[in-house]
């Protein structure tokens, strides 16, 4: 149990966990949803946004096949263009995802950001 181990014993013999777990990083993700008519409540997941806690690493990916989205709203292309503008307004970060999840309640919505562990 040398230094740098994930679990070491503290002075009282109890296990102490260090800040890093096997060099894993906790990222934050939010699912991007297309909701053409909020009254009907129909929605389709069209993408996911992921960012690191410090905001240095981020990725946004969308589905390639939009046929499911087109089936419930034929204006998905304009919604995707709008999404591109929203995502390029400011850098993506955990706080930005939180803000988007609270303020974007129209045709394009973000779920509440959730943590995920990655290497």
Is 91 within a domain? yes
Lowest mean pLDDT among 34-48, 60-74, 91-105: 91-105
Tally the domains of the chain. Answer: 1
The reply to whether 96 falls in a domain is yes
In a domain, 90, yes or no: yes
CA distance 32 to 83: 9
pLDDT at 13 over 50: no
Q: Is the pLDDT of residue 10 over 80?
A: no
- In this structure, is residue 6 part of a structural domain? no
Higher pLDDT, 97 or 3: 97
Separation CA 103–CA 84 (nearest Å): 16
Residue 15 placed within a domain: no
Q: Is the pTM of this model over 0.85?
A: no
Residue 63 has pLDDT above 70, yes or no: yes
Helix, strand, or coil here: 106?
Answer: coil
Structural domain harbouring 102: 23-118
Task: Please report whether residue 83 resides in a domain.
Answer: yes
Task: Return the SS3 of 22.
Answer: coil
**Residue 81 in this model has a pLDDT that exceeds 70:** yes
């Amino acid at each position: 149990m040398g230094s740098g181990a994930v679990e070491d014993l503290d002075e009282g013999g109890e296990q102490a966990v260090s800040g890093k777990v096997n060099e894993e990083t906790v990222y934050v993700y939010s699912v991007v949803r297309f909701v053409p008519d909020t009254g009907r409540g129909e929605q389709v997941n069209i993408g996911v946004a992921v960012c690191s806690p410090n905001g240095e690493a981020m990725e946004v990916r969308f589905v390639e096949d939009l046929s499911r989205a087109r089936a419930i709203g034929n204006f998905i292309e304009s919604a995707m263009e709008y999404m591109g503008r929203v995502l390029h307004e400011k850098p993506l970060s955990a706080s930005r995802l939180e803000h988007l999840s609270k303020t974007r309640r129209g045709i394009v919505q973000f779920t509440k950001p959730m943590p995920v562990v990655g290497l």
